[in-house]
C-alpha cells in the first residue's frame, strides 16, 4: 500500500503575513485541503501588538514558544501566555491576543485541528470547548518510550479527545525506525539532528517543521551533544508511544 510523502519546512524560509494588529503570521504546513487537515502556523507579536481571529472548526492547540501576553475569549477568564504553556481553544471561538509590554517578542505555535467528519460536532468530542484552557509543560506527567521522554499537555483524558499535543525530549543517538497510526506535525524546539523519513535523510534544527502522515516509517536522530526537544500535535488522538506493527 502506498504511503503519503512527508513534508519538511524551516520556519525561517516561510514568508510572514502581517495582520491588521501588527502580528506576523507564517503558515508552515497544511496537511489536507480546506479544514480537513492539520494546519500549523507561527505568530510573532512585538510588545503591545494585538492579534484577533477565530479558531478553526475543530479547535486549536497553541504553545507559547517565548515571550508573554494575554489571551481573551468572549465570556471567559483571560489566559496568561507564558513560555512552555499549552493552550486549547474551542472550535469556532473568537480570540484576542495582546503581547506583553516587555522587550521580548511573543511567539506562538498554533495548530488548527480538522473539523469533525460525518456531521459530528466538535463540542461533543472535547471535554470543554467553551473555555480556553491552559496547561504548563512542567506540570505534566513524564512518560517514557525507550530512552526518550515526553509530556502530554492535551489529549484523551486531558481535555481534548480529538488530538494530542506533547513535548518530547530525545537524548543523543537514534532510536529504531517506526511509524504511527495518526497524522502528525512536529516542530523542533531545540537541538539538531537528522530526520530519517521513508528512507531519506533530512537535516533538522530549531524551527524545522515536519509532517509525518500515518504509516510513514521515520526516526528522529539527535546528532548533537544536548537534548533534542520537539513539539508534536497529532490527529486522531492517541499516545505519542503508539506505533504500528511492521508492514502495516
107 with 175, same domain: the answer is no
Whether 214 contacts 201, CB under 8 Å: no
In a domain, 28, yes or no: yes
Mean pLDDT rounded to a whole number for the chain: 90
Query: What is the dihedral sign for C-alpha 11, 235, 180, 228?
Result: positive
163 with 203, same domain: the answer is yes
Between CA 153 and CA 159 the distance in angstroms is 9
What average pLDDT score do residues 71-96 get?
Answer: 95
User: In the sheet that 50-54 helps form, which strands lie side by side, from edge to edge?
Assistant: 50-54, 94-99, 69-72, 79-81
In a domain, 228, yes or no: yes
Q: Above 90 in pLDDT, residue 106? A: yes
68 with 161, same domain: the answer is no
Q: Above 50 in pLDDT, residue 128? A: no
144 with 109, same domain: the answer is no
Whether 167 contacts 189, CB under 8 Å: yes
Q: Above 70 in pLDDT, residue 12? A: yes
110 with 143, same domain: the answer is no
Which residues are CB-neighbours of 240 under 8 A, at least 6 positions away? 143, 145, 150, 152, 164, 166, 168, 232, 234
164 with 71, same domain: the answer is no
106 with 191, same domain: the answer is no
Structural domain containing residue 180: 138-235
In a domain, 180, yes or no: yes
185 with 145, same domain: the answer is yes
In a domain, 126, yes or no: no
Boundary of a domain, candidates 115, 150, 165: 115
Q: Which three cell numbers stand for residue 173?
A: 543517538
Q: Report pLDDT for 248.
A: 46
Q: Above 60 in pLDDT, residue 127? A: no
Q: Residue 150: which CATH number?
A: 2.60.120.10
pLDDT in tens, 129-179: 457 899 999 999 999 988 899 999 999 999 999 999 999 999 999 988 889
| Stated pTM of the model | 0.92
pLDDT in tens, 17-54: 999 999 999 999 999 887 789 999 999 999 999 999 99
In a domain, 7, yes or no: no
Amino acid at each position: 500500500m502506498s504511503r503519503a510523502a512527508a513534508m519538511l519546512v524551516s520556519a525561517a524560509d516561510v514568508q510572514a503575513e502581517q495582520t491588521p494588529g501588527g502580528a506576523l503570521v507564517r503558515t508552515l504546513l497544511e496537511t489536507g485541503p480546506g479544514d480537513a487537515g492539520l494546519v500549523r502556523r507561527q505568530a510573532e507579536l512585538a510588545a503591545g501588538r494585538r492579534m484577533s481571529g477565530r479558531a478553526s472548526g475543530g479547535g486549536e492547540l497553541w504553545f507559547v514558544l517565548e515571550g508573554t501576553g494575554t489571551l481573551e475569549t468572549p465570556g471567559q477568564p483571560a489566559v496568561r501566555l507564558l513560555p512552555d504553556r499549552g493552550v486549547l481553544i474551542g472550535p469556532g471561538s473568537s480570540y484576542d491576543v495582546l503581547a506583553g509590554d516587555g522587550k521580548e517578542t511573543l511567539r506562538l505555535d498554533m495548530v488548527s485541528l480538522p473539523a469533525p467528519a460525518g456531521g459530528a460536532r466538535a463540542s461533543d468530542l472535547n471535554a470543554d470547548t467553551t473555555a480556553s484552557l491552559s496547561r504548563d509543560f512542567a506540570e505534566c506527567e513524564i512518560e517514557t518510550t525507550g530512552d526518550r521522554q515526553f509530556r502530554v499537555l492535551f489529549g484523551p483524558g486531558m481535555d481534548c479527545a480529538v488530538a494530542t499535543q506533547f513535548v518530547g525530549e530525545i537524548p543523543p543517538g537514534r532510536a529504531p525506525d517506526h511509524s504511527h497510526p495518526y497524522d502528525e506535525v512536529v516542530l523542533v524546539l531545540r537541538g539538531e539532528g537528522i530526520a530519517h523519513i521513508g528512507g531519506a535523510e533530512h537535516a533538522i534544527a530549531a524551527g524545522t517543521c515536519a509532517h509525518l502522515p500515518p504509516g510513514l516509517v521515520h526516526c528522529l536522530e539527535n546528532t548533537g551533544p544536548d537534548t533534542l526537544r520537539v513539539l508534536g500535535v497529532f490527529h486522531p488522538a492517541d499516545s505519542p508511544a503508539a506505533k504500528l506493527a511492521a508492514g502495516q
